[in-house]
Amino acid sequence: MIPYNFTFLSHPKICSGLKALEVIPFELESLNACKPLIITSEKWSRKKLTKTIVKALYDSNIVIGALFDNAPAHPSSTIINVLSKLYRERSCDSIVAVGAGSVVNIAKSVNMVVSLKTDIVECANMTLSAPLKPFICVPTADCEGGEMAAMATCERFTKKSDYLYPDVIVIDPRITRNATSEEIANCALTSLSHAIEACGIDTPNPINDAYAHTALQFIYQYLPKTIKKPCNNDGSVAIVNAAACADIAFSNAPEGIIHSLASIIAQDTNYKPGTIMGILLRTSLHAKLATKQGIRPELLLALAGIDTYAKTKENERQKVAYDYLIKCIATTSKYIPSTLKKLTISHDKLKEYAKEAAAKNRDYKEKEYAELLANAWESK
């Protein structure tokens, strides 16, 4: 008998590892596409990632409809309209996004516009009821969370739909090893927060837990050495894989308190969501440990393995899992401050953030948001 009632959907196919980029033509063809629009940012173009992508498509029947390497840091309706026009004029039939954060959000928004044959403002109010155009995501290691999830963010709206998952996620060391230590730290903390929030809910989902635990395992195992050496192939691939797993787990769980607050603060302050999440996660874990809720003993199994799990007494497993997580977060201390105060966020704004978060995500009360923020502002 299945112990739980649950639903789970993971649409993307993950192709990871050595020469993974070269599978893009094969995957595109299996999705009935042959003319992709490639979107990336200038930052990655300067690091010659576009060249790597184009070379990976050599010796195939694919023609690149357009190679757009000027995606801005924030997705705006202007850029989405320009790219939609480019897509239509070149008769493209698919989209490949190389990058993270805004690049992927722009690509998803363009996909909505060209698939629904409307503009981005109308897209925000429409329900997606059919699959979109084929979309391949090639993430870099500076993920901000949500790139590989069933959601898209554009300007002031966030859209969630099962059809917003990428069709294929391609994780190649030639792409992932170009991030800096700070970007790796941000990516890992975002994934860590999403994974912990996804597996800490009251109604457990065993398949979702498997994804979240995989993400936690990868991060715990690879974060310390990848922060020291971000160009490490194995490490950077593992961190991006963790981000993919965490994003899928995040898509199948209700939005957590950390994500809600961090997205509002990041939007207001322009700090990376990972930085905010790292600070809030530390405080949130402490509160969870005190109430013995939200940290399940199985977390220890995912983090430390069967030997440590079996050796640890049943009533101590949550505390040991907490210690492991704090140890993991501490490896990013060089890049991520421990309190919101050190991040120069004004104390006066905390109430405003709590109010906004409570309006956005009603699963938690304003008081709970305010309490978490107050504790995170000056570490308690």
**What's the length of the chain?**
380
d(CA 336, CA 183): 11
Query: Is 119 an interacting residue with respect to another protein (CB under 8 A)?
Result: no
Q: How far is the CB of 193 from another protein (least distance, A)?
A: 31
Query: Is 19 an interacting residue with respect to another protein (CB under 8 A)?
Result: yes
Per the listing, tokens 């649409």 go with: 11
The dihedral through the CA atoms of 45, 79, 239, 12 has a sign that is negative
Which pair of tokens denotes residue 80? 């989405």
Kindly indicate which of the ranges 18-26, 276-284, 292-300, 303-311 contains the residues binding another protein, using the contact rule CB under 8 A: 18-26
Q: Nearer Cβ to another protein, position 57 or 136?
A: 57
Contacting residue, 6, 8, 11, 23, with another protein by CB under 8 A: 23
Instruction: Give the DSSP H/E element, type plus range, for residue 330.
Output: helix 317-330
Which pair of tokens denotes residue 22? 């070269």
Q: Nearer Cβ to another protein, position 110 or 149?
A: 110
Site string for another protein, 309-328 (x = CB under 8 A): --------------------
Query: Is 73 an interacting residue with respect to another protein (CB under 8 A)?
Result: no
Q: How far is the CB of 103 from another protein (least distance, A)?
A: 14
Contacting residue, 31, 33, 49, 57, with another protein by CB under 8 A: 57
Contacting residue, 33, 49, 62, 243, with another protein by CB under 8 A: 62
Query: Is 26 an interacting residue with respect to another protein (CB under 8 A)?
Result: yes
The interface with another protein within residues 80-99 (CB under 8 A) comprises: 82, 85-86, 89-90
Q: Nearer Cβ to another protein, position 82 or 287?
A: 82
- Reference 12, options 142, 141, 209, 149; nearest CA is 149
Contacting residue, 22, 234, 298, 323, with another protein by CB under 8 A: 22
Query: Is 25 an interacting residue with respect to another protein (CB under 8 A)?
Result: yes
d(CA 244, CA 197): 15
Q: Which long-range contacts (CB under 8 A, 24 or more apart) does 151-157 make?
A: 151/251, 152/105, 152/108, 152/109, 152/112, 153/75, 153/105, 154/75, 154/76, 154/77, 154/80, 154/105, 154/106, 154/109, 154/120, 154/124, 155/74, 155/75, 155/76, 155/77, 157/124
Q: Nearer Cβ to another protein, position 70 or 346?
A: 70
- Collect all residues with Cβ–Cβ distance below 8 Å to 293 and sequence separation of at least 6: none
Contacting residue, 10, 44, 45, 68, with another protein by CB under 8 A: 68
Which pair of tokens denotes residue 97? 């996004």
Q: What letter does residue 135 receive in the DSSP assignment?
A: E
d(CA 234, CA 180): 15
Query: Is 63 an interacting residue with respect to another protein (CB under 8 A)?
Result: yes
Contacting residue, 11, 67, 204, 234, with another protein by CB under 8 A: 67
Residues forming contacts to another protein in the complex (CB under 8 A) are: 15, 17-19, 22-23, 25-26, 29, 54-70, 82, 85-86, 89-90
